[in-house]
Amino acid sequence: MWVKICGIKDLETAAAVAERRPDAIGLNFYPKSPRCVAPETAAEIVTLLPPTVEAVGVFVNHEIETVAAICRDCRLGTAQMHGDETPQQLAELRLTSPELKIVRGHRMGGEGIEPLETYLTTCQQQGVELTACLIDARVEGTYGGSGQVAPWSLLAEQYQRRSWPPLILAGGLNPANVAGAIEAVAPWGVDVASGVESSPGQKDLQAVEWFIASARGRSSA
């Protein structure tokens, strides 16, 4: 199970989280987030990560030129587009940075998967190949990190695994529920931010360790 710990914003926490061996950490560049990290700090974080831990840039409604520049300057190989970006904007990013992997964040509510299906169809028409889709809970006024759970049963029933990008499950996950979420949804990977924090933006390293162990079906003891 691929595991990402999102919202790392300082060197000390990055080093400590990396020691717990997730597959990836998320570096959030959204200014309104309590987990926002400065590009200069993000670049330093990337230099200290071991090869086994990938850094993923998280962007919300940034200019495409800004996304490309930050990923280049911070040496990020993956951009998670988590705002209202259109398939056309993703196509622009693909042209600007052809080597960059793109993860599309989608906020899902009780309406089901149809909006994502339409979006992915348009991406295909635009020639945009996505590395993965990250499904978060749709909460009005937020772009993620709300701590709310996505509709697992709808997602499990409607996500077209054979023809769509690998599914990363986010939204309200924590060490106590991630194993059940994986059993219910069967995602390719899981992503957590607020579920392993002692306060907004402050990671609880014991919770991080427990989350990773639970996601991978191991005891944290």
Known catalytic residue: 136?
yes
From the candidates 23, 71, 133, 136, give the one annotated as an active-site residue.
136
59 membership: H or E segment, kind and range: strand 54-59
Q: List Cβ neighbours of 221 (8 Å cut-off, separation of 6 or more).
A: none
Burial class (CB in 10 A: 0-12, 13-18, 19+), 217: exposed
From the candidates 6, 74, 123, 133, give the one annotated as an active-site residue.
6
The neighbour count for residue 193, using CB atoms within 10 Å, is 28
Known catalytic residue: 10?
no
Closest residue by Cα to residue 156 from 118, 184, 120: 184
Burial class (CB in 10 A: 0-12, 13-18, 19+), 33: buried
* Cα distances (Å, whole numbers) of residue 203 to 2, 4, 209: 19, 13, 11
Residue type for position 85:
E
Give the strand pairing for 197-199 and 202-203: antiparallel
Closest residue by Cα to residue 160 from 203, 196, 116, 122: 116
Active-site positions read: 6, 136
